[in-house]
Amino acid sequence: MALNFDENAPVLEIKDLNLSYWTRAGEIPAVIDFSLTVQKGESIGLVGESGCGKSTVAMAIMQYMGGNGSIKSGSIRFKGVELTELPPDELRTLRGSHISMIYQEPFAALNPSLTLGTQLKEVPMTHEGISDTEAHDRAAQVLADVRLPDPARVMAAYPHQISGGQQQRVVIAMALLSNPSLLLLDEPTTALDVTVEAGITKLIADISRKYGTSQIYISHNLGLILEVCDRVFVMYSGEVVEEGTINSLFTWPRHPYTHGLFGCIPLPTADKNAAPLRPIVGQLPLPHERPHGCNFGPRCKFFEDGRCDAKDVPMEPVAGTTSDHRVRCVRWREIDHSQDVAHGDAKDPMEIGDAVLAVEGMQKYYEVHDRSIKALLAGKSVMYVKANEQLNFDARRGETVAIVGESGCGKSTFAKVLMGLETATDGSIRHDGNDICKIPVRARSPQQIGSLQMVFQNPFDTLNPSHTIGTQIGRVIKKFGVETDKTKIRARVMELLDIVKLPRDFYIRRPRQLSGGQKQRIGIARAFAGNPSMVIADEPVSALDVSVAAAVTELLMEIQREHKTTLLFISHDLSVVRYLSDRIVVMYLGQIMERGTTEAIFAPPYHPYTEALLSAVPIADPEVTKREIVLEGNLPSALNPPQGCPFSTRCPRKVGTVCDDERPPVQMASDTHAIACHIPLEELARVEPVIVVPSEEERAHVAHQ
């Protein structure tokens, strides 16, 4: 079966594509009027929030829409060959050889009961009919290309035996095996830790350079798109609302939605007082409830009655900019975004009061029993996981303290001890004067419990689906003894709903009827029901879309400001942390690597780990320059951490065996800034800043060119 490719045609050409899903409720258009051309070697970014149709486009290119999806109209041509009319067996020769895909969750994408070698080899064996040994050599070669150490071992392993980052490298290798012309990447780094993500992103960028492969890169993260793409398409509710080259679109966004998105992302210069985030109001319309005319209309502040909702809005080229910049807005000529600053008005900084929380030498060890013969013989059947080791820090009234670290760093364990779900092994945690680290939650008084509450991570999990919103918040009020009278409880629930800016009729609603952002608001209301002196927020916005996350973050800040609450903010995202916290604690493998005020953390001297974390955060601003630091290796197992400095196995600035063998000393760079490292402070202070933000004059200079 020879497909007749036209090598002069664009690699991919999509024209006026309309895709629909068929459900019990009827037809739901998923992608509307979509056109896209990919030239050889080009990287296209497809960016948008969840439900905007970006993954559907990728599946349509692959012609894999599932039972209920179908292409209604339009054409998809790959090197001149029309894919929508291709018979199944010809399509098969195309998939995996000419067009390959890289997926969001590498672990789910790999077959758990076949060795990785088998899964890799079958690609060239199917498409090129080569022998097993030949395929084996090829697979080993490509595994080396994606910088996996010891390809032979990887090929003999099953997916669960290697780490998440390695799994994604295997998936990438699998996609590259037949040297495809087009690579589709569907959020390839979303499921990975920040420092691992940085490595994968760099690998993907190198590959497109080395092989000349065209890419379509799907992501919700504008910063990532900026790092890897040449052109970008912004999607909203099934439509492309704006497209253009990276430079043009990031410098002069024309569509109010694109512009709004930038207002929702904390930039490296911004903090909560100087330039608060400016969330987009409202939420994404459901696919079957899309408005007339512009889909973004109801959330747009430039909305004009009778014009914006009159008829479907076509894409229009933007004159006077770099070629190819197009926008779907009837008012793009009139709106002058330069008059409209992306960020909200400045506020006065909060007053910081007395210490509310003091953590001293806190330790939490878990016992793990190893019942293998080897361990029994060696007498090591009981091992300890040091989830938290020697934590020291404090938090004061009205202050926001952030705990930053990747998965497994012990930040969630610390939250559990604080809340009394676990008790500490050693040390003390003083909250409002009492040592609480060994008092389990059921032994605490209602006032104690009520004054220390938590906002949870997962909006789909945080509320009990069986009970109404009113019952759930009311229960908290009653439990903490804030009110006892039924009508007063009800009144207080209403008041809390007002505080989190939700309509009062949510009282009788069930969690199922709420969107993710709304659920998270209820979670915040619940945490503040007992007038807490301190609230722990465990990644409260990481599962939300950018525009919604910004609104929830702002709400949290506002309530904190009003109630002068201490906020302990747990996160892996340094840009959010920089934006909202006063002080930062950086953790790695259960230990504090560095702590200090936000300014101190973000400027040299850095702990080498902080330095790597800073470099790993994608920034959605083309003018900001970053020093590239890619960490090698994996996170060590918590069961068997390095003897000396926990970071010694991956540290790019390792000074010698002292790092492996000895605990690093805690060095005080200032009264409040501590770094646990063997490298002398003077040397660390000489390090160049990781992120360089141009001054206002420099920016103006660039804009005029």
Partner 1 sequence: MATIATVPAPGYGAALMNALRSFALLRESIVGMAGTALVLFWAILALGAPLFAPCDPNATLLAFAKPGTPIPIADACWSDTFILGTDNIGRDILSRIVWGARTVLTWAPIAAICAYAVGIVLGLAAGYYRGWIDDVLSGVSNIILAFPVLVLYILIIATFGASPLNIVFAVTFATGPLVMRIVRGLVLDLRNREYVAAAETRGETAWRIMLVEILPNARGPLIVDGCLRLGYVIITIGVLGFLGLGLPPPDPDWGGMINETRQMALAFPHMTVFPCIAISSLILGFNLMADGLREISLRD
Partner 2 sequence: MLIFILKRIGQMLLIMLIVSVMLFLLLEINVESVAVKVLGQYSTQEQRELWLQRNGYYDPIYERYGRWLWGFVTGDLGESVRFKKPINDFMWDRLWNTAVLGFWAMAFIIPLALVLGILSGMREGSWLDRTISVTSIITTSIPEFASAPLLAAIFVFGLGWLPGTSSMIGGFDWKQLVLPVAVLVIYDFGYVARMTRASMAEVMTTHYIRTAVLKGLPYRSVILKHALRNALIAPFTVIMLQIPWLLSGVIVVEFFFAYKGFGALLLEASLNQDILLIEAASMVAVFVVVATQTLSDIGYTYLNPRIRFT
Q: Does 431 bind partner 1 (CB under 8 A)?
A: no
Instruction: Closer to partner 1 by CB, 327 or 527: give it.
Output: 527
Q: Does 464 bind partner 1 (CB under 8 A)?
A: yes
> How far apart (Å, rounded) are the C-alpha atoms in residues 200 and 630?
9
Q: Does 404 bind partner 1 (CB under 8 A)?
A: no
Q: Does 103 bind partner 2 (CB under 8 A)?
A: yes
Q: Does 123 bind partner 2 (CB under 8 A)?
A: yes
Q: Name which position in 131, 372, 464, 657 contacts partner 2 (CB under 8 A).
A: 372
Q: Does 453 bind partner 1 (CB under 8 A)?
A: yes
Q: Does 290 bind partner 1 (CB under 8 A)?
A: no
Alpha-carbon distances, residue 295 vs 284, 286, 518, 627 (angstroms): 9, 10, 21, 39
Build a one-symbol-per-residue string for 130-149: x at contacts with partner 2 by CB under 8 A, - elsewhere. Answer: --------------------
> How far apart (Å, rounded) are the C-alpha atoms in residues 332 and 340?
14
Please give the helix or strand (H or E) that residue 165 lies within, else none: helix 164-176
Q: Name which position in 35, 126, 322, 471 contacts partner 2 (CB under 8 A).
A: 126
> How far apart (Å, rounded) are the C-alpha atoms in residues 27 and 217?
28
Q: Name which position in 15, 18, 65, 92 contacts partner 2 (CB under 8 A).
A: 92
Give how many residues touch partner 1 by CB under 8 A: 31
Instruction: Closer to partner 2 by CB, 105 or 435: give it.
Output: 105
Q: Does 161 bind partner 2 (CB under 8 A)?
A: yes
Site for partner 1 in 12-71 (CB under 8 A): 24
How many CB atoms are located within 10 Å of the residue 623 CB?
A: 14
Q: Does 700 bind partner 2 (CB under 8 A)?
A: no
Q: Does 288 bind partner 1 (CB under 8 A)?
A: no
Give which of 543, 624, 563, 37 is closest to 553, Cα–Cα: 543
Q: Does 424 bind partner 1 (CB under 8 A)?
A: no
Give which of 614, 604, 571, 611 is closest to 673, Cα–Cα: 604
Q: Name which position in 456, 528, 569, 647 contacts partner 1 (CB under 8 A).
A: 456
Q: Name which position in 4, 113, 339, 640 contacts partner 2 (CB under 8 A).
A: 113
Q: Does 414 bind partner 1 (CB under 8 A)?
A: no
**CB distance 509 to 515 below 8 Å:** no
Cβ-Cβ contacts under 8 Å for 578 (sequence gap 6 or more)? 266, 268, 271, 584, 598, 602
3-state secondary structure 358-401: EEEEEEEEEEEECCCHHHHHHCCCEEEEEEEEEEEEEEECCCEE
Say if strands 674-676 and 591-597 run parallel, antiparallel, or are unpaired.
Answer: antiparallel
Build a one-symbol-per-residue string for 466-485: x at contacts with partner 1 by CB under 8 A, - elsewhere. Answer: xxx--x--xxx--xx-----
Q: Name which position in 18, 28, 69, 127 contacts partner 2 (CB under 8 A).
A: 127
Kindly indicate which of the ranges 115-123, 459-467, 491-499, 684-692 contains the residues binding partner 1, using the contact rule CB under 8 A: 459-467
Instruction: Closer to partner 1 by CB, 46 or 436: give it.
Output: 436
> How far apart (Å, rounded) are the C-alpha atoms in residues 268 and 290?
35
> How far apart (Å, rounded) are the C-alpha atoms in residues 286 and 686?
53
Instruction: Closer to partner 1 by CB, 467 or 627: give it.
Output: 467
Instruction: Closer to partner 1 by CB, 24 or 704: give it.
Output: 24
Binding-site partner at residue 467 among partner 2, partner 1, none, CB < 5 to 8 Å by type: partner 1
Minimum CB separation of residue 31 from partner 2 in Å reads 19
Q: Name which position in 152, 376, 421, 639 contacts partner 1 (CB under 8 A).
A: 421
Instruction: Closer to partner 2 by CB, 164 or 517: give it.
Output: 164
Q: Does 378 bind partner 2 (CB under 8 A)?
A: no
Q: Does 569 bind partner 1 (CB under 8 A)?
A: no
**CB distance 211 to 136 below 8 Å:** no
Minimum CB separation of residue 181 from partner 2 in Å reads 14
Say if strands 231-236 and 182-186 run parallel, antiparallel, or are unpaired.
Answer: unpaired
Helix (H, G, I), strand (E, B) or coil at 192: coil
Alpha-carbon distances, residue 222 vs 234, 238, 259, 608 (angstroms): 9, 18, 12, 26
396-433 burial, b at 16+ Cβ within 10 Å, e below that, comes to bbbbbbbbbbbebbbbbbbbbbbbbebebbebebbbee
Minimum CB separation of residue 610 from partner 2 in Å reads 34
End-to-end CA distance of the chain: 53
Q: Name which position in 463, 489, 541, 567 contacts partner 1 (CB under 8 A).
A: 463
> What is the torsional sign of CA 94, 97, 98, 102?
positive
Instruction: Closer to partner 1 by CB, 273 or 448: give it.
Output: 448
Binding-site partner at residue 310 among partner 1, partner 2, none, CB < 5 to 8 Å by type: none
**CB distance 73 to 16 below 8 Å:** yes
> How far apart (Å, rounded) are the C-alpha atoms in residues 387 and 591?
8
Binding-site partner at residue 456 among partner 1, partner 2, none, CB < 5 to 8 Å by type: partner 1
Binding-site partner at residue 502 among partner 2, partner 1, none, CB < 5 to 8 Å by type: none
3-state secondary structure 575-619: HHHHHHCCEEEEEECCEEEEEEEHHHHCCCCCCHHHHHHHHHCCC
Q: Does 152 bind partner 2 (CB under 8 A)?
A: no
Site for partner 1 in 333-392 (CB under 8 A): none
Minimum CB separation of residue 52 from partner 1 in Å reads 23
Build a one-symbol-per-residue string for 503-542: x at contacts with partner 1 by CB under 8 A, - elsewhere. Answer: --------------------x--x----------------
Minimum CB separation of residue 113 from partner 2 in Å reads 5
Q: Does 457 bind partner 1 (CB under 8 A)?
A: yes
Q: Does 462 bind partner 1 (CB under 8 A)?
A: yes
**Tokens read off for 598:** 């936000």
Beta bridge pairs of residue 81 = 78
Q: Does 373 bind partner 2 (CB under 8 A)?
A: yes
Q: Does 704 bind partner 2 (CB under 8 A)?
A: no
> How far apart (Å, rounded) are the C-alpha atoms in residues 642 and 238?
49
Q: Strand ranges (DSSP E) for 503-590?
A: 534-538, 566-571, 583-588
442 DSSP 8-state letter: G
- Letter for the amino acid at 479? K
Q: Does 69 bind partner 2 (CB under 8 A)?
A: no
Q: Name which position in 419, 587, 601, 651 contacts partner 1 (CB under 8 A).
A: 419
**CB distance 261 to 545 below 8 Å:** no
Kindly indicate which of the ranges 218-226, 342-350, 436-444, 587-595 contains the residues binding partner 1, using the contact rule CB under 8 A: 436-444
Q: Does 112 bind partner 2 (CB under 8 A)?
A: yes
438-471 burial, b at 16+ Cβ within 10 Å, e below that, comes to ebeeeebeeebbbbbbbbbbebeebbeeeebbbe
**Tokens read off for 547:** 């525009």
Instruction: Closer to partner 1 by CB, 174 or 497: give it.
Output: 497
Minimum CB separation of residue 416 from partner 1 in Å reads 9
Instruction: Name the residues that contact partner 1, by CB under 8 A.
Output: 24, 419-421, 441-442, 444, 446, 449-450, 453-454, 456-458, 461-468, 471, 474-476, 479-480, 523, 526
Instruction: Name the residues that contact partner 2, by CB under 8 A.
Output: 62, 64, 67, 92-97, 100-101, 103, 105, 108-114, 122-123, 126-127, 158, 160-161, 171, 174, 371-373
